[in-house]
Amino acid sequence: MVIAEDVEKILSYGEICDHCLGRFFGKLSHGLSNDERGKALRIAHCLHENIPYAPPGPCWICGDIFSRVGEWADRVIEATEGIEYGSFIIGTRVPPVIAESEEIIWSDLSLSHAEPLKSEMNREVGKAVARKWGKVADPKQPDIVAILNLAEDCVEIQIRSLFIYGRYRKLERGIPQTHWFCRACQGKGCEKCNYTGKQYQDSVEELIGRPIIRLFSAGNAILHGSGREDIDARMVGTGRPFVMEVVAPRIRTADLALVQHEINQAAAGRVEVTLERWSTHKEVEIIKSTKGYKKYRILVEIDGLYSPDELQSAIQSLKGAKVNQRTPIRVAHRRADRVRERRVLDISVVGKDSGRVILEITGEAGLYIKELVSGDQGRTEPSLSGLLGRSARVCSLDVVEVQGYEEGE
Ligand SMILES: [Zn+2]
Ligand SMILES: [Zn+2]
C-alpha cells in the first residue's frame, strides 16, 4: 500500500518523532492526534519489515519541539501575567530551516495530506494553555495573540485594542483635535517646543486619552473623530462623535461611566466627553468616512455701514445656495488645489454682539465657513462678503452640532 511506501521513504531521511511522522498524514484520518498516528505507522512499519520496534532518536525536523509543549504553555501564561484577557490564540513563528525540512519531504514524496508544523504547534500549545489557565482559544475575537518565536526562544504578546464610542465637546479655543509635532523639530524635541516635541501642549486626543491610558494600563489611546474642527473653533452643542482606540490595554473591563467621570474631571472644563458604549474596529472606518451636515455659530465682523435689509437679503441668497470653493489659501499648503461644491443648508442671523453679527449656519460636510464669510479673495463664490460688497470676517467660530452616522443619510 502507498502509505507504507511513503512511511519507509520518510524514515530513510533520518530519525523522526511520532508528531512529525504522523503530521505527514495529518489530513487522512480523524480522531487521532499526530503522535498517535505516527506511532501507529511506525509500529505497522516494524511489523511489515519484521524488525524490532524502537522509539526514535532526536527528530531531524523539529528537534523534538513537541516534548516541550507544556513548557511553551507555561511561558505563554508567564508572559501574559498582569494582562486581563478572556480569550486568546497561539501563533508560531517557525524558523526557515524547520519549514524547509518539512517542505523537502512534501515535494519529494508529492504529499498532499500533510499538516504544517506551525498548525500542530498552535493547536497543542493552545490546548495546554486552555487546560492550565481555563481561558478560551478563540480565533475570531482573541483578546490576545501569543506568538511562539521558536528561533529567538521567546513568547511575544499582542493585545487586541479596545474601542469606545462617544461624543466630545471642546469648550476652549486653541486646542487641536490630535497631537501635532513641533514644526521646527518634527517631534524630536528642540528649544522652540521646550523639548516636548509638540506644537501644542494639549490636544483633545490627549485630554481624553491620558486618563484612558492610565485606567486601562494601555500603551496608547488614538482618537478617531467624525471630522475635525479648526484649532481656534470650539465644539459645543451635542458634541462630535468619535471612537477612541485603546491600544494594548492590560485591563479590558471598566465601567464607562467611571471612565467618563475621570476624563471630565481631569480635563477640567476644557474638554467634556460622553462615553456612550463599547465600539469596534469596524466602526472606526464608518465614523471616519461619514459625511453628515454640521451646524456652526459664528461671530462676524463686517466693515463699513450696511442696512439690516442688505444683510437679510445677502443671508437669503446664501440659504440653500450651492457654493463653489477653491481650496482656501490657509490650507492650500496641505490640500490639493481644486474647486469643490458644497451646499449651505441653512443660515440665519441669531443676534448681535457689540456691533458684530451672530450667525448660525448649517452646511454640508466640507463647507469652509470662514471662506463662506470672507470670500477668500474671490476663491469662494458666492460669499457673504461678495454679496454685501464689503469685507467680512469670522471673529470666532463654534461647531454646535455634528450629525452622527446613526441618523445619517
Ligand atoms: Zn519532530
Ligand atoms: Zn521642537
Distance 189 CA to ligand 2 centre (A): 4
DSSP one-letter string for 264-309? HHHHTTSEEEEEEEEE-HHHHHHHHH----EEEEEEEEE-S---HH
Q: Which of 6, 230, 376, 398 is catalytic?
A: 230
pLDDT at 13: 93
Q: Before 382, cis peptide (omega within 30)?
A: yes
Can you read off the three cell numbers belonging to residue 203? Answer: 490636544
196: pLDDT strictly greater than 50: yes
Given this model, what pLDDT does residue 407 score? 37
pLDDT (tens digit per residue) in 99-153: 999 999 999 998 888 999 999 999 999 999 999 888 888 888 899 999 999 999 9
Q: Distance between CA atoms of 306 and 328, rounded to whole angstroms?
A: 27
What tens digit of pLDDT does each residue of 320-332 get? 999 999 999 998 8
| Closest ligand relative to 195 C-alpha | 2
> Which numbered ligand comes closest to the C-alpha of 23?
1
Among the bound ligands, name the one nearest to the CA of residue 20. 1
Condensed to tens digits (0 to 9), the pLDDT of residues 81-104 reads 999 999 999 999 999 999 999 999
35 assigned to active site: no
Q: Which of 298, 286, 185 minimizes the C-alpha distance to 232?
A: 298
Helix, strand or coil, per DSSP, at residue 350: strand
What is the grid cell recorded at 60? 531531524
| Residue whose C-alpha cell reads 498524514 in the numeric block | 25
Task: Calculate how far, in angstroms, residue 18's C-alpha sits from the geometric centre of ligand 1.
Answer: 7
Does the structure show a pLDDT above 90 at 29? no
Predicted pLDDT of residue 135:
85
Per-residue model confidence (pLDDT) at position 264: 98
User: How confident is the model over 152-181, as pLDDT tens digits?
Assistant: 999 999 999 999 999 999 999 999 999 889
Q: Which ligand is nearest to the CA of 35?
A: 1
Distance (Å) from CA 232 to ligand 2 centroid: 21
Name the H helices within 225-277.
256-267
Query: How far does residue 78's CA lie from ligand 1's centre (Å)?
Result: 25
Per the prediction, the chain carries an average pLDDT of 92
Rounded to the nearest angstrom, the distance between the alpha carbon of 116 and the centre of ligand 1 is 11
CA–CA dist 325, 297 (Å, integer) = 20
Q: How far is the CA of 352 from the centre of ligand 1 (A)?
A: 83
* Cα dist from 41 to 19, 65, 174, whole Å: 11, 20, 74
pLDDT category at 405 given cuts 50, 70, 90 is low
- Residue 77 confidence class, pLDDT cut points 50, 70, 90: very high
- Helix residue ranges, H only, 80-191: 96-108, 117-133
What local confidence, expressed as pLDDT, does residue 1 receive? Answer: 53
Q: Which ligand minimizes its atom distance to the CA of 10?
A: 1
Q: What is the CA radius of gyration of the chain?
A: 32
Confidence of residue 409 (pLDDT cuts 50, 70, 90): very low
How far is the CA of 265 from the CAs of 169, 220, 261, 344, in angstroms?
A: 14, 20, 6, 37
Residue 146 is predicted with a pLDDT of 97
Confidence (pTM)? 0.80
pLDDT of residue 348: 95
Residue-level pLDDT at 136: 85
Burial class (CB in 10 A: 0-12, 13-18, 19+), 141: exposed
Which residue ranges form the domains of the chain, and what is each CATH number? 2-159 (3.30.2300.10), 162-289 (3.30.70.2510), 294-402 (3.30.70.3190)
Evaluate if residue 404 carries a pLDDT over 80.
no
- pLDDT digit string (tens) for 216-258? 999 999 999 988 898 999 999 989 999 999 999 999 999 999 9
Mean pLDDT of the region 286-306: 89
Ligand 2 centroid to 202 CA: how many Å?
15
Kindly list the distances between the CA atom of residue 102 and the CA atoms of 107, 136, 155, in Å, as whole numbers in the listed order. 9, 30, 23
Residue 180 CA, ligand 2 centroid: distance in Å: 11
Distance CA(319)–CA(348), nearest Å, equals 8
